[in-house]
């Protein structure tokens, strides 16, 4: 591709995350230009144009959108249930793809997307941007340098203080839509575990529960009509709600977090067995006091821990097995959402598009992180360990 030409970016799916990418990530780059918008709802298109302050060409038809002039790459931010449908359409049109996580809601759908990439001559990324934050880059560097040896066991924790407001006011509180919050939320941390361990999962066992949210309130009860507004910690003003990734949501769903239809577990424990004979546990909780991620891995030479939060109070410790020497690292703070990850992954994606060489870096890891969560939901229902089918050997050369 001509290096002086701006990359034409289109956004498919104009929810909060899609518009955020347009306003704060790709739309801010000097080497990119927003050339198309698409959503099945015209009101979403109108709202996006107003927020972006640009009269960008748009369509409620995916087919028409993919034919817009100058369209080189598509940011897919459609709802999770239509990720496969969206990705297949964009790949068929031979446009570069940036697909928001999770990759899809079934393992077969993930594998079908990977198979559809062949022959598209495109760059294909899945939006697992935390790999690009300075904390995770440093942890990967230390593990690759054999500072703790071969990882054999570990623990990953997602502390989600915002879970009630983010997930239980709308459709994502229902399994029929979201499948699980481990899939919707946890794929970030699960992907990081796969990447740091450098292995694919083969089996999971899960226990989870709906301990705080849900209850006896009617499904029609909304914050704006509730007489407990001043006392409820989960009251939100639907006219404006601040997210953690520099976005303000207007007209947000405000259904009661204690309603009867809530059936998505708000906490869970997952045991994961890897091909490398490493085993880790993953804990996700949506009513913790803090909003952070914690990582701990024990290898044959020592232990490494990492702490992540959105304020970038990053910290890594490495403790040697026999000498008990402890090294502490404080990765630098950088600008951008997700600890600079949004900036880092967009830079990588655009650089690969400019290079013009087809690639899907990290897509196997995206498939594996989704597969853990999907298998975990099955294990939750059956009470039994669930095997994860390996990716077709044809794609064995792909990086985790």
Q: Which residues contact 305 (CB under 8 A, 6 or more apart)?
A: 294, 295, 296, 297, 316, 317
**Could you state, in order of their start, the residue ranges of all structural domains in the chain?**
7-130+349-355, 131-209+265-338+362-395
**Fold match between domain 7-130+349-355 and domain 131-209+265-338+362-395:** no
pLDDT tens digit string along 61-110? 999 999 999 999 999 999 999 999 999 999 999 999 999 999 999 999 99
Task: Name the band, by pLDDT with cuts 50, 70 and 90, for residue 274.
Answer: very high
Q: Is the pLDDT higher at 28 or at 108?
A: 108
The number of C-alpha atoms within 13 Å of 220 and in the hemisphere containing its C-beta is: 0
Task: Name the band, by pLDDT with cuts 50, 70 and 90, for residue 1.
Answer: low
Q: At what angle do helices 187-197 and 363-382 cross, to 10 degrees?
A: 120
Task: Name the band, by pLDDT with cuts 50, 70 and 90, for residue 317.
Answer: very high
Average pLDDT over residues 111-138: 96
Specify the pTM: 0.95
Domain 7-130+349-355 belongs to what architecture?
A: 3-Layer(aba) Sandwich (3.40)
| d(C-alpha 231, C-alpha 104), whole Å | 38
CATH number belonging to domain 131-209+265-338+362-395: 3.30.360.10
Q: Is the pLDDT higher at 249 or at 125?
A: 125
Query: Is residue 7 within 8 Å of residue 354, measured between CB atoms?
Result: yes
Q: Is the pLDDT of residue 203 over 70?
A: yes
The whole-number pLDDT of residue 120 equals 94
| d(C-alpha 112, C-alpha 83), whole Å | 11
Tokens 């303000």, residue located? 248
Q: Is the pLDDT higher at 238 or at 21?
A: 21
Q: How many residues does this entry show for the chain?
A: 400
């Amino acid at each position: 591709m001509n290096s002086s030409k701006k990359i034409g970016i289109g956004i498919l799916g104009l929810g909060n995350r899609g518009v955020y990418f347009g306003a704060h990530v790709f739309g801010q780059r000097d080497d990119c230009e927003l050339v198309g918008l698409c959503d099945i709802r015209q009101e979403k298109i109108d709202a996006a144009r107003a927020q972006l302050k640009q009269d960008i060409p748009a369509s409620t038809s995916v087919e028409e959108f993919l034919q817009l002039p100058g369209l080189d790459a598509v940011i897919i931010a459609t709802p999770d249930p239509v990720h496969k449908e969206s990705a297949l359409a964009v790949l068929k049109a031979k446009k570069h793809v940036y697909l928001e996580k999770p990759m899809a809601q079934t393992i077969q759908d993930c594998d079908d997307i990977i198979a559809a990439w062949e022959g598209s001559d495109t760059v294909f990324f899945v939006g697992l941007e935390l790999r690009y934050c300075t904390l995770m880059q440093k942890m990967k560097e230390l593990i690759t340098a054999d500072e703790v040896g071969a990882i054999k066991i570990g623990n990953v924790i997602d502390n989600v203080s915002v879970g009630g407001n983010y997930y239980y006011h709308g459709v994502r509180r229902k399994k029929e839509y979201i499948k699980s919050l481990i899939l919707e939320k946890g794929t970030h941390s699960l992907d990081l575990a796969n990447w740091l361990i450098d292995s694919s999962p083969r089996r999971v066992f899960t226990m989870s529960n709906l301990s705080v949210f849900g209850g006896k309130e009617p499904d029609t009860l909304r914050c704006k009509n509730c007489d407990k507004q001043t006392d409820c910690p989960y009251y939100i003003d639907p006219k404006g709600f601040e997210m953690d990734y520099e976005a303000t949501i207007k007209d947000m769903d405000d259904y009661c977090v204690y309603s009867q239809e809530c059936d998505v577990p708000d906490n869970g424990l997952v045991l994961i067995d890897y091909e490398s004979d490493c085993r880790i546990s993953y804990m996700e909780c949506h009513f913790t006091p803090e909003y952070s991620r914690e990582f701990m891995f024990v290898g044959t030479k020592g232990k490494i821990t990492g702490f992540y939060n959105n304020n970038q109070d990053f910290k890594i410790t490495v403790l040697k097995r026999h000498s008990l020497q402890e090294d502490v690292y404080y990765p630098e703070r950088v600008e951008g959402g997700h600890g600079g990850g949004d900036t880092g992954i967009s830079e990588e994606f655009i650089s690969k598009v400019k290079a013009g060489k087809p690639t899907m870096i990290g897509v196997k890891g995206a498939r594996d992180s989704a597969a853990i969560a999907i298998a975990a939901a099955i294990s939750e229902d059956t009470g039994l360990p669930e095997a994860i089918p390996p990716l077709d050997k044809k794609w064995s050369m792909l990086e985790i």
